[in-house]
């Protein structure tokens, strides 16, 4: 199994457990610096990955940072 496939499997298992993932989490937990590419691979494989932006605002209410968050809506 290639590193790419291993990362993809770990990311998929993480999201299937109901957790969202960001680039920081992917880097810290799975040593994956190309989360967008792994999400692309998962979507290409038919996984219904959803995404949205998260923001950190400064004291004046302006966007200081933004990052992408990915998840799979798991049926309850």
Whether 43 is covered by a domain: the verdict is: yes
Whether 76 is covered by a domain: the verdict is: no
Cα(32)–Cα(29) distance, integer angstroms: 8
Whether 65 is covered by a domain: the verdict is: yes
For the whole model, what pTM was predicted? 0.86
Q: What is the pLDDT of residues 12-48, one digit of tens each?
A: 999 999 999 999 999 999 999 999 999 999 999 999 9
Whether 59 is covered by a domain: the verdict is: yes
Cα(64)–Cα(56) distance, integer angstroms: 6
Whether 64 is covered by a domain: the verdict is: yes
Whether 75 has a pLDDT exceeding 70, the answer reads no
Which structural domain range is residue 21 located in?
A: 3-71
Q: Which two tokens stand for residue 7?
A: 């990362």
Cα(57)–Cα(62) distance, integer angstroms: 5
What pLDDT does 1 receive?
Answer: 86
Cα(32)–Cα(23) distance, integer angstroms: 8
Total domains in the fold of the chain: 1
Locus of tokens 């209410």 = 61
Whether 62 is covered by a domain: the verdict is: yes
């Amino acid at each position: 199994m290639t590193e790419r496939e291993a990362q993809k499997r770990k990311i998929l298992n993480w999201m299937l457990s109901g957790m969202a993932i960001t680039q920081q989490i992917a880097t810290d937990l799975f040593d994956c610096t190309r989360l967008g590419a792994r999400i692309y691979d998962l979507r290409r494989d038919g996984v219904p990955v959803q995404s949205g932006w998260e923001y950190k605002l400064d004291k004046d209410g302006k966007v200081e940072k933004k990052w992408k968050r990915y998840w799979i809506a798991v049926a309850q």
